[in-house]
Amino acid sequence: MAMKELNGIHHISAITADATKNVRFYAGVMGMRLVKKTVNQDNPTVYHLFYADEDGSPGADLTFFEYPGLVRGRAGAGMVHRIGFRVASEAALGFWAQRLGSAGLESTVEGDRLRFDDPEGLGFELIAAPTEDAPLVARHPEIPEKFALQGFAGVRAFERRRGASHQFLADTLGFEGTGPDAYESRGDSRGSFYVYDAAPEARGLGGSGTVHHVAWSSTLEDHVAWRDRVVEGGGDPTPVIDRFYFRSIYFREPSGVLFEIATVGPGFATDEAKEHLGERLSLPPAFEHLRAQIEPNLTPLPNPREKSPVR
């Protein structure tokens, strides 16, 4: 049976030094829904926060590992340096320029995109280009649905040697070339761009405000076959890791960017009712017995959806 193409970006994981400020910015300012509050499964002493649309859909899921007090990083060769989100219209760009300005952040509009950095220096662009992909939207009282973020458009990465990854992306992962240094991963229901820019001279430094990895969407049925395909293409993937909410393999593409292929499903409603996603600390079954040790060491976070008490 033929494998299905990867269905664009599944999630993007980045690093923050302050989970509380992170929640206030992404849930409060950007209007995303905090859909899962859990721990880094490779280091359960720190938070792993997941923001997405109302349903916690792959394609809208931006996640952060918290390392309290970590120094600011800097994107360099082999790192994603800008994350693109879709918005519905150029009117949305005006709305966001104003909203970001009220939050103390500068932005610039160039054509159909608005560029800005988050409070820790992570680069973003909001893109008002036509798409057939369904909008993946979260609800926020201050953000009209017509202006809300609609899921990922794609990412831009830095490469040291031009074209180094072309064969791997095209032949192994099935990305389609869309222009010089530009690709698209498109499956049954979604697509995402993956574009290279020339790397700056300065070496990249992992730290707060940097992207850790970008994950691409696979079906559960094809996941092991994708691992085999990566091996055949010269990649060195991890074994399949069960992350409880999805299954994952990780590998570096030839330009050095850390990729993951993650499955669509089981999903975030596996251990919480959809209407209560992200309200309590969720621990996968393998970590539940550690709750009494883990929870007291994590900073209590605001619940962005809690109604303020009536006075």
What pLDDT score does 305 carry?
86
What pLDDT score does 303 carry?
86
Predicted confidence (pLDDT) per residue in 237-260, tens digit: 999 999 999 999 999 999 999 999
Predicted confidence (pLDDT) per residue in 77-129, tens digit: 999 999 999 999 999 999 999 999 999 999 999 999 999 999 999 999 999 99
Task: Answer whether residue 32 is part of any domain.
Answer: yes
Task: Answer whether residue 98 is part of any domain.
Answer: yes
CATH number for position 159? 3.10.180.10
Q: Whole-number mean pLDDT of the chain? A: 96
Task: Answer whether residue 3 is part of any domain.
Answer: no
Largest CA distance in the chain: 64
Task: Answer whether residue 80 is part of any domain.
Answer: yes
Query: How many independent structural domains does the chain possess?
Result: 1
Q: Which domain holds residue 222?
A: 9-297
Task: Answer whether residue 306 is part of any domain.
Answer: no
pLDDT tier at 311, thresholds 50, 70, 90? very low
Residue 110 CB burial class (10 angstroms; 0-12, 13-18, ≥19): exposed
Task: Answer whether residue 1 is part of any domain.
Answer: no
Tokens of 180: 């010089």
Tokens of 140: 């926020």
Predicted confidence (pLDDT) per residue in 120-165, tens digit: 999 999 999 999 999 999 999 999 999 999 999 999 999 999 999 9
Task: Answer whether residue 307 is part of any domain.
Answer: no
Task: Answer whether residue 137 is part of any domain.
Answer: yes
What pLDDT score does 307 carry?
65
